[in-house]
Amino acid sequence: MAGLVQSNLSIFNFEDTASMLRNTILIPTILLIGLFFFLMQRHYVIDASSVYKDGAAIICESKRHLVRSNQINNNKRINTFFIGNSKILTGLIPDYFDMDLNGAVTSFNLSLPALPVGPHYYCLKDYIKNNTPPQYIVIYLSTYRGMIDSMAGKLVRYYCNQGSMSFHELLSYSIFFRDPWILIYHILPQLMFSDFVDSYTFNNLFHKDDIIKIREHNMTLLTRMVKDRGYYFIEEQARFPDKALPEDFSEDMHPNQTRPIFDVDSDIFLDKFFRFTSSEGIKVLLIEPPYRRGQYSQFSEIPAQYKAILQRYDNVYIAPDGWKTKFYENRYFSDPTHLNHEGAILYTREIAHEFAELFHLGPDRCGIP
Amino acid sequence: MAFIPIYILILFTTILVDYISGILIDKSRGRRRAIILALSIVTNLGMLGFFKYFNFVASNIAQLFSFFGWSCPVHTLPIILPIGLSFHTFQSMGYTVEVYRGRKPEYHPGVFALYVMFYPQLVAGPIERPNNLLVQLKQPKDLDYQRIADGLKLMAWGFFKKLVIADRLAVIVDQVYGKPTNYQGVILASATICFAYQIYCDFSGYTDIAIGAARVMGFDLMKNFSQPYLSSSVSEFWKRWHISLSSWFRDYLYIPLGGNRVSKWRHRFNLILVFLLSGLWHGASWTFIIWGLIHGGYLILSIWTKGLRQKIVDITGVGNYPVFHNVLRISLTFLAVCFAWIFFRAPDISTAWYIVTHLWTGWYDLLVNLQAPAAIRNTFSSLNLPVLLPALVSIVILELAGYFHNTYSRQGGGAARILASRPVLIRWSAYYALFCWILLFGRFGTKQFIYFQF
């Protein structure tokens, strides 16, 4: 059978010194041209996606960028971070928090919408590379269960892919979420953003003004987020004109169930995060975002997940009633999930109060009436 | 259409029956040869008929019975069409016919099985002939860089057609044909033209990938397409479109029926029968049958009107302008083919009929507003223009590449060979550009090849 196969592989000619020299130059040149083409088209896709991605994705990426380029301190030494998904992004306002604590802390809302704890862990590490670690972290552990929920991988793919510039970070997501597409989509973002590429190409040719307008809108959004120190009210998702749910709004109600809680063993990054914060001497306060009145039933005792995490890590805290579900009126929500600005003020003050009590910042130093 | 492991038995039955038939035909004399051939064909067509047409026939009988108010004794069965059934059945049948005509049979069961199951073209052709593929299976293969490179280039070109053109146009076509009542004739006609290119690029893209993959391994498969939309008559179209199927029908059905060397009416009958069966081959649906009949009708019409058309050419003097005359013929042929595609693409006869009867709406408004770009934009705004634009640019690239390929082929080259003779940096830049174009504008979804369902 081997006799049937005759090799005639003459891709490059190495017969004499001159041709060998020629090929030594030629092969790297061809590879470089290929790399150039590849990077150009990838850059084009990233540029297109930066125009059409939703606000949450843009916030995610820009926060990662701000942290990497060491721009979030802005002459104030931040010692408290808020971390969580979009519920915390829209729920905790650093200005009000600092004010209520009479300047005992300087906070920044580092929440990356829609993302589990993994990207927050890497974001925090990026921050600590250039800065002294914060003293406190106020964190909501979302219920995406990493390796179990395929949702987590999908969200990381979409929201954080281009925001992360570290191959190591993306490789670790791919491994721990058992999702090779996280890495593949980072290398080939067009697989995820083909619609954006189409719109970008078409509008660049025929409606350039549209692109300029969207870029301006995105810039306004980012400026607002930076000014509000990471807090962002997702106005575009508000369902009703006055940005408040009507009192009779009753979508997504589970009155006979308790709200979902994180699972401490389901996400490898949870352990990494707590070990890292412990090693850096950071105190971590666990919080839960509020829900609409009647949306869930109240817990009768402290859930096992809280007990487990408090036993395992010595730097984790929870307010005496922090495990209980907070129920707010519909008027404090802009959509079924997120707080509006009034709701965020109320929630921030409530958390500030718990924070002050727990860390003995003293009622005299706490501006809560 | 589906891949179900147990259905491999169908493939093995086909291989076994035709392998044994081939040997028996070779060893037999006289009428016995014809009987064995007939048994082999009946077995092949029986399997094809059962899996592909049983439910179609049963549901039509049921409808007929219900029309007369009778209860129907025939019921449909939960049959799923095995993937590539029509293709490998025809390929295998072609072999037994060739043996009957005097070709030596293949005694090595493995080689014969490989001939029927040759994977690059198993599911959607080209439908190979024993004189081409079977011979190559026994020849020694060189590991040739040039062949491998040519094969990979052809595969890349196939991916370009499928991912950038066909799957993009599918978005437009699915949208319009999914709800044709929402659109005016201008849009219905545009979507039909889009479908013409969608199916061409989908099928010829698959063929390029199949031929390219086979070439990498050292095999030359037969040509299946030759710029069909540049045909200047419908009969020429069928010499350029799905060549392996149309030549199969020609060699194994049309010519045995007498071809055109029979009486005038018998010749017309032969044409209609071949195209009716060609339509039926594509799918068990009245829309495919009508599509085949329309093409058969075109051919008969072209025979009947030959004198009249010549008179028109003489009177108008259009023959004095050969380029214009050729463009006119190509355009008319293309429109005729597109009209027939309506029946091929429509999910049922009533949808096809709706489209045909509403093709003429909206044109007046478009023509009146030709000078107002905004009005033209409004007319086409219901199409997904950002998706369509890269496909249109790619079609231009495709046709230009085809033109250059044909031009250089006549000079003994071909586009790929001409490119191969350029300086290495230019050549590689062109390859990278094609690769990046596919990456940027390809639709990497899960859209299957259309012809997989046949």
The verdict on a CB contact (< 8 Å) between B440 and A44 is: yes
Q: How many CB atoms lie within 10 A of CB B443?
A: 22
C-alpha B440/C-alpha B437 separation (Å) is 5
Pick B15 or B3 by higher pLDDT. Answer: B15
Rounded to the nearest angstrom, the minimum Cα separation between B84 and chain A is 29
The verdict on a CB contact (< 8 Å) between B425 and A191 is: no
Chain A residue at shortest CA distance from B143: A7
Pick from B143, B387, B432: which is nearest to A37 by CB? B432
Pick from A5, A26, A202: which is nearest to B386 by CB? A202
Chain A residue at shortest CA distance from B148: A9
Pick from B428, B435, B439: which is nearest to A190 by CB? B439
Residues of A in contact with B429 (CB under 8 A): 33, 37
The verdict on a CB contact (< 8 Å) between B425 and A45 is: no
Q: How many CB atoms lie within 10 A of CB B310?
A: 11
Residues of B in contact with A5 (CB under 8 A): 140-143
The verdict on a CB contact (< 8 Å) between B425 and A201 is: no
Q: Assess if residue A16 is contained within a domain.
A: no
What pLDDT, on a 0 to 100 scale, did the predictor assign at position B413? Answer: 62
Mutate to test the interface with B, among A11, A198, A199 (most CBs of B within 10 A): A198
Structural domain of A130 = 55-365
Q: Assess if residue A168 is contained within a domain.
A: yes
Q: Assess if residue A243 is contained within a domain.
A: yes
Lowest-pLDDT range, A172-186, B276-290, B303-317?
A: A172-186
The verdict on a CB contact (< 8 Å) between B428 and A3 is: no
Residue B282 annotated among the catalytic residues of the structure: yes
Three-state DSSP class for residue A289:
coil
Read off the pLDDT of each residue in B214-240 and give the average, rounded to a whole number. Answer: 91
Pick from A11, A37, A202: which is nearest to B145 by CB? A11
Tens-digit pLDDT profile for residues B397-452: 988 888 887 777 766 666 667 777 788 888 889 899 999 999 999 988 766 666 56
The verdict on a CB contact (< 8 Å) between B436 and A38 is: yes
Rounded to the nearest angstrom, the minimum Cα separation between B436 and chain A is 6
- B interface toward A at CB cutoff 8 Å? 140-145, 385-387, 389-390, 424-425, 428-429, 432-433, 435-436, 439-444
Phi and psi at B57, nearest 5°, equal -65, -45
What pLDDT, on a 0 to 100 scale, did the predictor assign at position A35? Answer: 93
Pick B371 or B170 by higher pLDDT. Answer: B170
Q: Please provide the distance, in angstroms rounded to a whole number, between the alpha carbons at the two ends of chain A.
A: 90
Lowest-pLDDT range, A306-315, B75-84, B196-205?
A: B75-84
- Indicate the domain borders of chain B: 5-117, 145-453
What pLDDT, on a 0 to 100 scale, did the predictor assign at position A6? Answer: 45
Residues of A in contact with B424 (CB under 8 A): 26, 30
Pick from B143, B436, B441: which is nearest to A8 by CB? B143
The verdict on a CB contact (< 8 Å) between A40 and B436 is: yes
Q: Assess if residue A233 is contained within a domain.
A: yes
Mean model confidence pLDDT for chain B: 86
The percent of residues above 90 in pLDDT, for chain B, comes to 34
What pLDDT, on a 0 to 100 scale, did the predictor assign at position A4? Answer: 42
Chain pair A-B, CB pairs under 8 angstroms: 71
The residue annotated as part of the active site, out of B242, B267, B282, B295, is B282
B256 pLDDT higher than 50: yes
Tell me the pTM: 0.81
The verdict on a CB contact (< 8 Å) between B440 and A11 is: no
Read off the pLDDT of each residue in B192-207 and give the average, rounded to a whole number. Answer: 93
Q: What length does chain B have?
A: 454
Whole-number Cα distances in Å, A161 to A46, A145, A166, A182, A188: 10, 19, 10, 7, 11
What pLDDT, on a 0 to 100 scale, did the predictor assign at position A3? Answer: 42
- A interface toward B at CB cutoff 8 Å? 3-11, 26, 29-30, 33-34, 37-38, 40-41, 44-45, 188, 190-191, 194-195, 197-199, 201-203, 205
C-alpha A80/C-alpha A109 separation (Å) is 9
Residues of A in contact with B423 (CB under 8 A): none
C-alpha A121/C-alpha A268 separation (Å) is 11
What pLDDT, on a 0 to 100 scale, did the predictor assign at position A179? Answer: 80
Residues of B in contact with A30 (CB under 8 A): 424-425, 428
Q: Assess if residue A7 is contained within a domain.
A: no
C-alpha B350/C-alpha B200 separation (Å) is 25
ipTM comes to 0.77
Pick from B390, B425, B439: which is nearest to A198 by CB? B390
The verdict on a CB contact (< 8 Å) between A194 and B442 is: yes
pLDDT band at residue B255 under the 50/70/90 scheme = confident
Q: Assess if residue A48 is contained within a domain.
A: no
> Are A58 and A159 in contact, with CB atoms under 8 Å apart?
no
**Diameter of chain A by CA atoms?**
92
Cβ-in-10-Å burial (0-12, 13-18, 19+) of B426 comes to: exposed
Q: How many CB atoms lie within 10 A of CB A340?
A: 22
The verdict on a CB contact (< 8 Å) between B140 and A5 is: yes
Mean pLDDT in consecutive groups of 10 residues from the start of chain A, 369 residues: 45 65 84 92 90 85 88 80 93 94 91 86 92 93 59 68 75 83 85 89 91 92 90 84 87 85 82 94 94 91 89 91 92 92 95 90 45
Chain B residue at shortest CA distance from A198: B386
The percent of residues above 70 in pLDDT, for chain B, comes to 95
What pLDDT, on a 0 to 100 scale, did the predictor assign at position A148? Answer: 44
What pLDDT, on a 0 to 100 scale, did the predictor assign at position A214? Answer: 92
Residues in CB range of B96: below 8 A, 6 or more apart: B18, B21, B22, B25, B37, B40, B41
Mutate to test the interface with A, among B152, B428, B434 (most CBs of A within 10 A): B428
Could you tell me whether strands A316-318 and A283-286 are parallel, antiparallel, or unpaired per DSSP bridges? parallel
Q: Assess if residue A19 is contained within a domain.
A: no
Mutate to test the interface with A, among B439, B443, B444 (most CBs of A within 10 A): B439
Rounded to the nearest angstrom, the minimum Cα separation between A189 and chain B is 9
Q: Assess if residue A265 is contained within a domain.
A: yes
Q: What is the 3-state secondary structure (H, E, C) of B149-217?
A: HHHHHHHHHHHHHHHHHHHHHHHHHHHHHHCHHHCCHHHHHHHHHHHHHHHHHHHHHHHHHHHHHHHHC
Phi and psi at B220, nearest 5°, equal -105, 115
Cα angle A329, A332, A337; round to 5: 95
Lowest-pLDDT range, A363-367, B226-230, B290-294?
A: A363-367
The verdict on a CB contact (< 8 Å) between A5 and B142 is: yes
Pick from A8, A11, A198: which is nearest to B142 by CB? A8
What pLDDT, on a 0 to 100 scale, did the predictor assign at position B361? Answer: 85
